[in-house]
Amino acid sequence: MDGFVNVLKPTGMTSHDVVTWARKLFGQRKIGHTGTLDPGATGVLVLSLGRATRLSEYVLELSKSYRCEMVLGKTTDTGDAFGKVVEQKSVPEFSQEQLEEVFRKFKGNIKQVPPMTSAVKVGGKKLYQLAREGKTVARKERLVKIYSLDIVRMDNEAGITSITFDVSCSKGTYIRTLCHDIGQELGCGAFMKFLLRTTVGPFEIGAAFTLEELERCKGEPEQFLLPMDTAVSHWPKVKLTSEYFRRKLCNGNLIQSSGFVMDADHSQSGVRIYDHNDCFIAIGYVQTTPAGMQLKANKVFCHG
């Protein structure tokens, strides 16, 4: 099978656990995931199967959206509910306007320090491996982008104050770090209690399959398998004009402008390429030369 599966990852499983499970279910070794989701988190986890694994890097680049609940008044060493409380403060009363003013500060381009529980490597070792050894090391700040950040509600039950919010962000954004930083700005600290990933680019939670659903329909992949070009559906489309040009492209040749048509501006970094029968066969780019436009494939999924 070649394509993507939009999985609704349950809590308690690592992203790699889901990949291992899928390999056994589908009897296919070439399966990977396209962006880690913490064991305690749930939501959209996109699996790539077969030749689609060659497009995983482009899914990793897609923006993501989450619904998160954070608890105010406590800071943990992991930034989430599974860590040890390292600081506790009383939570002042906040008006809706005050909260929104603080949240606005975290929209746009912001800098984050990756948490010690992340897979970022320092000195050849992943941070979470160092954390398991009881070590804490200095980490460089990273620039990420928060596209939207909206408060859903604020609750106060049994003396516990929590805020639920929706966030849309660039790749590499750590939501537990966002919770921590908002808590620091509020002056009382905070940790991430619950995290649900709702979208990864075009992959939405409403169309995600539970593991049980995948087990029931594993013999009918057309029910759950998404086409390979889903990963680059936002790129301009290029269509070859004949079988002759399909063979040329699949054999690594440049295609002159007479051999293809485009449906949009080619100024973006990449294009998705289809043959004359409208079958997705490659990704590449269009370049302008003195002789005119030329099409070049850099990943081909067909044979000449």
Question: Taking a C-beta distance cutoff of 8 angstroms, is the pair 76, 54 a contact?
Answer: no
Q: Which amino acid is at 59?
A: V
The type of residue at 218 is K
Place of tokens 């948490």: 115
Cβ distance 36 to 127 under 8 Å?
Answer: no
Distance CA 277, CA 98 (A): 57
Residues contacting 245, CB < 8 A, separation 6+: 255, 259, 260, 276
Specify whether the backbone of 292 is left (phi greater than 0), alpha (psi in -120 to 50) or beta: left
Structure-token pair, residue 75:
């800071």
How is residue 230 written in tokens? Answer: 């889903």
Count of residues making up the chain: 304
Beta strands in the chain (DSSP E): 3-9, 31-33, 42-49, 64-72, 74-76, 85-88, 108-112, 121-122, 125-126, 142-157, 160-169, 190-200, 203-204, 225-226, 237-240, 255-256, 260-262, 271-274, 280-289, 292-300
Q: Is 38 a catalytic residue?
A: yes
Determine whether 91 is exposed, middle or buried from the number of CB atoms within 10 Å of its CB (0-12, 13-18, 19+): buried
Could you say which of 2, 38, 80, 275 is catalytic?
38
Show which residues are catalytic: 38
